[in-house]
Amino acid sequence: MIERIERQTTRVKSFLLRPQHWRYFRAGQHLDVRLTAPDGYQAQRSYSVASAPGLEGLYELVVERLENGEISPFFHDVAEVGDAIEIRGPFGGHFVWSPEDGGPLLLVGGGSGLAPLMSILRHLSAVSDAVRVILLYAARTWDDVIFREELIALDGAKADFTLLLSLSRDTPRRPHDIGRRVDASLLKVALARLGAAPRLTFVCGSNAFVETITGHLVDLDLGPETIRAERFGG
């Protein structure tokens, strides 16, 4: 059941779901959502869980409203608090992080690809003290940064977490942020600020974003087997 809906940016809302049978899960996993029309027609989509496993009883989903989407306009324009939504999962056995995986970690996200990385970051902050993490997050503008206040607060509060924002169509607001798309030199900066080779790298976003980023990371000599990708879109 939808317990809360929060507007994150002009195009993105997050939905907090409280299911009848909540299951503990691994940070980075996703839920399958199934919607049924009155005549029985069904449509399914997967959404990464953005909340940490420690947020007991709830799953937070991040939904970007796609103009030609079948499901996202329903979530944005029709769904209300109190509605029942059919879900399965959480699922996912690869793009996941558990404390025993350790660090250092490089997280790279584009747009709504932030969702599973947010789960990893929130989980890590709750359970682990000594893992060094960098999140390089790409968005169009300052106002498109999902969970912006939470990320900035975490950057200030946690010594071993660093947030780097890459804004492709905006000027940077914080001293270390960048006003251009993520490229090889920006990834080099992120790696330098991490201070050590990442044990694991998680990259999530559109396919074009992930393909570009992972290509650069391999060129920067990161072992391909240490890079995990989650892609969506065409």
Partner 1 sequence: MATRGFTGRRPAPELADRVPPGQSLTEDFPVLTAGPTPRISLGDWSFTLKSGPRPVKRWTWAEFNTLPQTKMTRDIHCVTKWSKLNTPWTGVLIDDLLADAELEPPTSHTLVHSYDGYSTNVPVADLIGGKAMIATHYEGKPLTPAHGGPARLLVPHLYFWKSAKWINALQFTERDEAGFWELRGYHIYGDPWREQRFTGD
Which residues lie near partner 1 (CB under 8 A)? 34-38, 41-46, 70, 74, 78-79, 83-86, 91-95, 207, 211, 214-215, 217-218, 224-225, 227-229, 231-234
CB of 42 to partner 1, least distance (A): 7
Question: Prior bond to 198 cis, omega within 30?
Answer: no
Residue closer to partner 1, measured from CB, 13 or 148: 13
The sheet with strand 59-64 has its strands ordered as 2-7, 12-17, 59-64
Residue closer to partner 1, measured from CB, 81 or 153: 81
CB of 105 to partner 1, least distance (A): 16
Class of residue 231 by CB neighbours under 10 A (exposed 0-12, middle 13-18, buried 19+): middle
Give buried/exposed letters for 168-187 (b at 16+ CB in 10 A, else e). eebeeeeeebbeeebeeebb
CB of 31 to partner 1, least distance (A): 13
d(CA 144, CA 166): 11
CB of 130 to partner 1, least distance (A): 26
- How far apart, in Å, are the Cα atoms of 222 and each of 4, 131, 183, 191, 215? 40, 19, 15, 10, 10
C-beta of residue 49 within 8 angstroms of C-beta of residue 119? yes
CA torsion 204-206-208-211 (nearest 10°) is: 20
CA torsion 155-50-23-100 (nearest 10°) is: -50
CB of 145 to partner 1, least distance (A): 26
Residue closer to partner 1, measured from CB, 78 or 130: 78
Residue closer to partner 1, measured from CB, 3 or 170: 3
CB of 66 to partner 1, least distance (A): 12
Nearest to 29 by CA among 118, 125, 144: 118
